[in-house]
Amino acid sequence: MNEKPLLRVRGLTTEFATSEGAVARALEDVSFDVLPGKTVGLVGESGSGKTTTLMALMRLLPASGRITKGKVWFNDTNLLALSEHEMRDYRWKSMAIVFQGAMNALNPVMKVGDQIREAILLHDLMDRSAAEKRVRDLLEMVGIAPARRDQYPHQYSGGMRQRAMIAMALACAPDILFADEPTTALDVMIQAQILQLLKEIQKALGLAVVIVTHDLGVVAEVCDEVVVLYGGKVAEYGSVDRIYNHAQHPYTQRLLESFPDINNPSETLASIPGTPPRLTQLPPGCRFEPRCHVKINRCAEVSPPLLEVEPGHYVACILREGKEANFQ
């Protein structure tokens, strides 16, 4: 795998100021690569930092949040070093996002086609007729009949609204699409259709995708690589094949056990006993230690470094052997 990554996330660390005046360390030292045309899955239970990762990459964290450390290289540009003005050239055109719960965020009193056209005109210099042509092309690309361009969101099913949101994200032909739980609220058959759509679009456009999900079935279906987040840190990172067939972090192993049938994953991750760490009061040792079934005494004392246990496969567990990760 010698292809140069499109996006290199290095040591990404974020904090939120909470309403109680504390600091929640939502992400710590998160690193991973996104190769052109490939799909990375960000997996982890609720609160593990999946959405925060995407929002930090887009530099769209809410005012209470900030990036305290790290670099995000898009090709040879560190996005975190850009001015807000410069960053605007990258949003939509280089990287676009389908937000968590986005399909419910369409404007209910505006025709779907008009909403997509507005998104195009806001970010791209083209006249209305060119934008209108683009609306129809985008709708077609996501499998919506152009005749439905003039309908309102309530006339669309959930799956169609999600398709429309994907069309909108593709408005300016980005190189990377971030999709935050794009299938979660949909029923199983529609989920499969949306995943199929993402795969088709990816292939047709050569798009790189980062998909956030808590569903390991989704990961198996569409991802090339997986980043498993636990309490804001990378627990394990590697190819789908290695993660599924040779998971080495006790948390990943538990996750996989809680999905006995990968083709029929219907349960959530909650089947692992215990609760995730409080991000305002992080333990000195491993964040998974209180819930770990194979821990030793030292796990409560030492924060585990991310180890490269085999080429391209990283695990943050002191029970494993490997050299400390050194991302270029």
The smaller minimum CB distance to ligand ATP, of residues 39 and 52, is found at 52
The smaller minimum CB distance to Mg ion, of residues 134 and 287, is found at 287
Closest approach, Cβ 144 to ligand ATP, in A, equals 27
User: 106 touches which of Mg ion, ligand ATP, none (CB within 5 to 8 A by kind)?
Assistant: none
Q: Is 48 an interacting residue with respect to ligand ATP (CB under 6 A)?
A: yes
- Say how many CA atoms lie within 13 Å of 316 toward its Cβ: 26
Q: Is 31 an interacting residue with respect to Mg ion (CB under 5 A)?
A: no
The smaller minimum CB distance to Mg ion, of residues 31 and 53, is found at 53
Three-state DSSP state, 159:
helix
User: 32 touches which of Mg ion, ligand ATP, none (CB within 5 to 8 A by kind)?
Assistant: none
The separation between CA 166 and the C-alpha centre of its own chain, rounded to angstroms, equals: 14
Alpha helices in the chain (DSSP H): 50-58, 84-87, 112-123, 128-141, 158-169, 188-205, 216-222, 240-246, 250-257
* Cα–Cα nearest to 74, from 208, 212, 219: 208
Closest approach, Cβ 102 to ligand ATP, in A, equals 13
The owner of tokens 């086609």 is: 113
Interface pattern 79-108 for ligand ATP (x via CB under 6 A): ---------------------x--------
Q: Which of 6, 97, 279, 318 binds ligand ATP (CB under 6 A)?
A: 279
Q: Is 40 an interacting residue with respect to ligand ATP (CB under 6 A)?
A: no
C-alpha to C-alpha distance for 72 and 11, rounded to whole angstroms: 9
**Torsion sign (Cα): 96, 100, 104, 107:** negative
User: 44 touches which of Mg ion, ligand ATP, none (CB within 5 to 8 A by kind)?
Assistant: ligand ATP
The smaller minimum CB distance to ligand ATP, of residues 175 and 181, is found at 181
C-alpha to C-alpha distance for 298 and 176, rounded to whole angstroms: 40
Q: Is 248 an interacting residue with respect to Mg ion (CB under 5 A)?
A: no
Q: Is 44 an interacting residue with respect to ligand ATP (CB under 6 A)?
A: yes
46-65 residues near Mg ion, rule: CB under 5 A: 50-51
User: 210 touches which of ligand ATP, Mg ion, none (CB within 5 to 8 A by kind)?
Assistant: none
Taking CB atoms, the residue at the shortest distance from Mg ion is: 51
CB 48 within 8 A of CB 231: yes
In order of 23, 61, 90, 116, 321, the CA distances from 86 in angstroms are 29, 17, 8, 24, 42
The owner of tokens 């998104």 is: 119
Q: Which of 32, 33, 39, 47 binds ligand ATP (CB under 6 A)?
A: 47
Long-range contacts of 190-194 (CB under 8 A, 24+ apart): 190/157, 190/158, 190/159, 191/218, 193/159, 194/159, 194/162, 194/163, 194/166
81-100 residues near Mg ion, rule: CB under 5 A: 100
Binding part of the chain for ligand ATP, among 58-66, 146-154, 194-202, 318-326 by CB under 6 A, reads: 58-66
Binding part of the chain for ligand ATP, among 40-48, 67-75, 148-156, 286-294 by CB under 6 A, reads: 40-48
CB 65 within 8 A of CB 42: no
For binding to ligand ATP (CB under 6 A), which residues are involved? 16, 18, 24, 26, 44, 46-52, 62, 64-65, 100, 214, 279
For binding to Mg ion (CB under 5 A), which residues are involved? 50-51, 100
